[in-house]
Amino acid sequence: MRGFELPFREVHLDFHTSPDIEGVGVKFDAEEFATTLEKARVNSITCFARCHHGYLYYDSKKFPERIHPHLVNKNLLRDQIEACHKHGIRVPIYITVQWDKYTADEHPEWLAVDESGRPFGNSTFEAGFYRKLCVNSPYRDFLKALTLEILETFPVDGLFFDIVQPTPCACRYCREDMIKQGLNPASLEDRKEFGQMLINEFKRDMTNFVRQYNKDCTIFYNKGHVGPAHRPVVDAYTHFELETLPSGGWGYLHFPVTMRYARNLGLDCLGQTGKFHTSWGDFHSFKNKAALEYECFRMLALNAKCMIGDQLEPNGKLSDAVYELIGSVYSQVEKKSRGVQELNL
């Protein structure tokens, strides 16, 4: 296997926080944050630079208008990273790509559109941040400028780019490029073909861009599934994260089938479940311990590392009950993985 070897006990800490919520991060305490994770035997946690609402959780100099309007500690992300590093925990950074409500509102000309000119995702008056941005528009320049600021501001262990999906876009930029390539923008089949080529080109372009500034960080582009479409573009990735919450729409059979494919792509893989009873955003709820044990041990059995999804409450304090639950399972993962590490020696 080439590439990066992932830690065994990871958390993905969602932090999509509405601008209507006040007191964001008001109860955050950096040392308490890191010791809670250490006690739960977590050795990697993905934390947020920019969420689906489009807000930033650090003191951006280039884009101050995008800092969450109620972020109490403007150095939330920096403090998370520094405290975790002191405790030997790595911190990949989350950046949303195609779902960003702030950008969709400010730059409707960057949205991906269908053949009638309608954006993909929710309509203007529907709740949600699901209008999709087109990475073939000047939005890509903004995304690079933001990524560069993050690379120059923080010690970056990894970058997790979320919502990176092929889209049969008919925006002016995609139509122009399709005609140049001899494709017919009026044909849905041609738009699908172009959409797949475009997203692969985007991933290679972003990886090359990141590598100009950071040679070692992990890089992953998430579309909610890993499958045959990834094979031609494996070189843009350092590893694969299999988003597959059994109670969250993917079902219990998605992970074993997907993992048996993904582990043959030549890069290290992790399985991602959630601590939620159902899915992302259901963050007041808990998965029962037996289910979490089953899901994590099944990841190990299929040669994947473990990741548990959580959502940080807007006040910035990790839930003690959640990390007691995670720790009760990850302490067992730690014992089992020690055996694997010894075998590798």
Amino acid present at 221: Y
The answer to whether 164 contacts Zn ion (rule: CB under 5 A) is no
Nearer to Zn ion, 92 or 185 (CB): 185
**Integer Cα distance of 269 and 109 in angstroms:** 36
Give the residue with the Cβ less far from Zn ion, 134 or 164.
134
Shortest Å, Cβ 169 to Zn ion:
3
Q: Which two tokens stand for residue 233?
A: 């573009």
Tell me: does residue 45 bind Zn ion (CB under 5 A).
no
Q: Considering the complex, what minimum distance in angstroms separates the CB of residue 15 from Zn ion?
A: 28
Q: Which is nearer to Zn ion, 136 or 207 (CB)?
A: 136
Q: Which stretch binds Zn ion (CB under 5 A): 134-142, 158-166, 242-250, 254-262?
A: 134-142
CB of 69 to Zn ion, least distance (A): 30
Regarding 11 and contact with Zn ion (CB under 5 A), the answer is: no
Q: Alpha helix locations (H) across 52-127? A: 76-86, 101-106
β-partners of residue 243 are 272
Q: Least separation, in Å, of the C-beta of 137 and Zn ion?
A: 6
Specify the residue, 105 or 109, whose C-beta has the smaller distance to Zn ion.
109
Distance, CA of 11 to CA of 44 (rounded, Å):
6
Closer of 179 and 321 to Zn ion (Cβ): 179
The 3-state DSSP class for residue 232 equals helix
289 and 328 Cβ atoms separated by less than 8 Å: yes
Binding status of residue 76 toward Zn ion by CB under 5 A: no
The stretch among 94-102, 162-170, 223-231, 312-320 that binds Zn ion (CB under 5 A) is 162-170
Residue 136 as a binder of Zn ion (CB under 5 A): the answer is: yes
Amino acid, single-letter form, for residue 41: R
Tell me which of 45, 89, 134, 262 binds Zn ion, using CB under 5 A.
134
Q: Give Cα separations from 173 to 8, 100, 152 (angstroms).
A: 42, 19, 30
Does 171 interact with Zn ion (rule: CB under 5 A)? yes
Nearer to Zn ion, 182 or 339 (CB): 182
Q: Residue 309: beta bridge partners?
A: 12, 274
Q: How far apart are CA 97 and CA 149, in angstroms?
A: 15
Distances in Å between the Cα of 171 and the Cα atoms of 32, 55, 111, 195 are 47, 25, 8, 11
Compute and round to an integer the Cα radius of gyration of the chain: 20
183 C-beta neighbours (distance < 10 Å), count? 18
Please check whether residue 230 is in contact with residue 237, taking contact to mean a CB–CB distance below 8 angstroms. yes
Q: Residue 68 or residue 191: which is nearer to Zn ion going by CB?
A: 191
If one asks whether residue 89 binds Zn ion (CB under 5 A), the answer comes out as: no
SS3 248: helix
11, 111, 169, 312: which one contacts Zn ion (CB under 5 A)? Answer: 169
Of 58 and 99, which CB lies nearer to Zn ion in the complex structure? 99
Q: Whole-angstrom Cα distance, residue 126 to residue 23?
A: 26
**Which residue, 110 or 240, has its beta carbon nearer to Zn ion?**
110
Phi then psi dihedrals of residue 169, to 5 deg: -80, 145
Distance, CA of 112 to CA of 126 (rounded, Å) = 17
**Rounded to the nearest whole angstrom, what is the least distance from the CB of residue 145 to Zn ion in the complex?**
19
Say how many residues touch Zn ion, by CB under 5 A: 5
Q: Binding of Zn ion at residue 174 (CB under 5 A)? A: yes
User: Which residue matches tokens 């195609």?
Assistant: 98
Minimum distance of Zn ion from residue 234's CB (angstroms)? 25
Q: What are phi and psi of 39, to 5 degrees?
A: -60, -35
- Of 163-171, 243-251, 284-292, 330-338, the window that binds Zn ion (rule: CB under 5 A) is 163-171
Residue with smaller CB distance to Zn ion, 181 or 264: 181
**Minimum distance between the CB of residue 205 and Zn ion, rounded to whole angstroms?**
15
- Interface with Zn ion by CB under 5 A: which residues? 134, 136, 169, 171, 174
